Structure 1
Amino acid sequence: MAALTAAAEAFARPWYAEAGRTYHTAEHVQAMLGALRSRGVLTAPLELAAWGHDLIYDPRAADNEARSAAVFCAWLAAQGAPPALSAQVHALILATRHAEPPATREEALFVDADLAVLGADPATFAAYDHAIRAEYAHVPDGAYRIGRSAVLRHFLERQPLYTTPEFAALDAPARVNLRRALARLAPAD
């Protein structure tokens, strides 16, 4: 499995180096892997899904996760990966749509790792927030404020924000970060 995960990284890195990406890069993948590894829960399917989850990132599109899952799982099949592994990775990638609660513990860990940046120290969160704005540079300020506020409120309203014990400690700092970011996005009176 180590050879497959190494090949996945080699396959994925060029996608993450595409122009216009400032947050959805290989550094984001490495941060997810580090978050899972430091908590002792990194598995081969999680590592594969991390490399595949943001292969396609178009800030104008709403189907990035589905397209990423399709491309990455087609690549997995071409490598001879077992269909069950490919299906598992596919489900993990789709879980990062954050549209519904994770269906399995592994999905919950993966979603929590994807959102770990929300509970980062203030400087790391600010860099993330700035990088997201750069990825959406094509969106006028007023529209960005409205859209970004909705996204941040969605995460702030989740109870709990992190669903696994391994990431639960990030809940309080994430809520502080989210509230500060929402305050910055509020229109000036």
Structure 2
Amino acid sequence: MTVYVDPPAWPAHGTLFSHLVSDSSLAELHAFAGRIGLSRRAFDLDHYDVAAERYDDAVTAGAVPVGGRELARRLGASGLRVPGRARRAAKAESLLMRWDALLPGAREVGVELVERWHEPHRVYHGPEHLVHALDSLALLEGRPAGAPDAVSSPPVRGRPAPSVTPSVTQLALWFHDAVHDGEARVDEERSAALVVELLGAHVDVAVVDEVARLVLVTTDHSPAPDDGAGALVSDADLAVLAAAPDRYARYVRQVRAEYAHVPDDAFRTGRAAVLRSLLDTRPLYRTVFARDRWEAAARSNLTAELADLA
């Protein structure tokens, strides 16, 4: 891993700021920033803002000085860069506004979830993924993407729908990667347990049970044929697979950066197995909307990535 810093050229708060970035690992970037005494408040999703008087400290500690364009190029190639629009939507304040609209009166739960989604080891499974999944769910449910999240929901399976209930599908996406330690199935089980721990004081037990069940659907993305809510959550979680080629390429870089500690050969073997499993799943998407609009693009992206790995 190499850490880069550009010259102080960005005015704010009466001084100039540099950007401090890593070419491979947010965890290592946080560790470097900690060694030179930078506060986590200076971190902005993919970089640290470094005041001009701290520039020499960063260089002395080992940051490689580069120009602004070169720093942007290296950050883009790393897979860690978060584009401007996505950056604004993924900020903690923006996410908490969405949470407050979804479940008023449970701000402490939203704060904990947002902190979890911003954990330093996350790259792909971070706040940008949460926003994309929520916006994809809105499309699947016929709501405008990016609109304030409403308090409405598909009915809980096997139970009559109450007149008003928080959206179990939206809540499931908020919780589905709330625990992300890189342990398949264990992460989903712990995320489902977190639903019970955090939501019990705020919603009916039927909602808690349904949200936990939907979180577990994301373990293998195989909802039952009659599981409409499960199909929505599964498809929203996998929506990135159908992204435009440039966005999909960034997703691939993000996944590799998230597993930067895994040697190349081992990563290629494991990733290829994941891709083959996804391609063998027919259909990949379970809602009519997603099958009609996303399935072909997703299969094209997956096939191309598998060929690149080979």
SS in 2 for 1:19: coil
1:152 counterpart = 2:275: yes
Counterpart position of 1:173:
297
Counterpart position of 1:55:
178
- Structure 2 distance, partners of 1:69, 1:131, is 25
Structure ID, larger Rg: 2
Deviation at 1:6, TM superposition (A): 6.1
Range that drifts further, 149-158 or 38-47 = 38-47
**Alignment deviations for residues 26-66 of structure 1 (CA, whole Å, 9 cap, x no partner):** 21111111111123357311111111110111125541000
1:96 counterpart = 2:197: no
Deviation at 1:145, TM superposition (A): 0.4
- Structure 1 distance, partners of 2:174, 2:121, is 18
SS in 2 for 1:137: coil
1:111 counterpart = 2:234: yes
On the 8 A contact 1:5/1:48 being kept in 2, the answer is no
Counterpart position of 1:66:
189
**Alignment deviations for residues 116-144 of structure 1 (CA, whole Å, 9 cap, x no partner):** 10011011111111111111111111011
Counterpart position of 2:43:
none
Range that drifts further, 42-51 or 64-73 = 42-51
- Structure 1 distance, partners of 2:287, 2:249, is 24
Deviation at 1:20, TM superposition (A): 1.3
Alpha-carbon RMSD across the aligned residues, in angstroms, is 1.8
On the 8 A contact 1:8/1:48 being kept in 2, the answer is no
- Structure 2 distance, partners of 1:73, 1:141, is 38
Counterpart position of 1:40:
141
- Structure 2 distance, partners of 1:170, 1:8, is 33
TM-score by length of 1: 0.90
- Structure 2 distance, partners of 1:67, 1:140, is 27
Percent identical residues: 39
Gaps of 5+ in 1: none
- Structure 2 distance, partners of 1:20, 1:46, is 26
Aligned to 2:207, which of 85, 88, 109?
A: 85
Structure with more of its chain in strand, by fraction: 2
Counterpart position of 2:76:
none
On the 8 A contact 2:179/2:190 being kept in 1, the answer is yes
1:17 counterpart = 2:118: yes
Count the aligned residue pairs. Answer: 184
Q: Which has the bigger relative contact order, CA under 8 A and spacing at least 6?
A: 1
SS in 1 for 2:121: coil
Aligned to 1:137, which of 260, 264, 270?
A: 260
- Structure 2 distance, partners of 1:87, 1:183, is 41
Gaps of 5+ in 2: 1-101, 144-152, 154-166
Counterpart position of 2:45:
none
On the 8 A contact 2:188/2:219 being kept in 1, the answer is yes
**Alignment deviations for residues 84-140 of structure 1 (CA, whole Å, 9 cap, x no partner):** 0001000110000116x2031110111011001001101111111111111111111
Deviation at 1:5, TM superposition (A): 7.3
- Structure 1 distance, partners of 2:176, 2:187, is 9
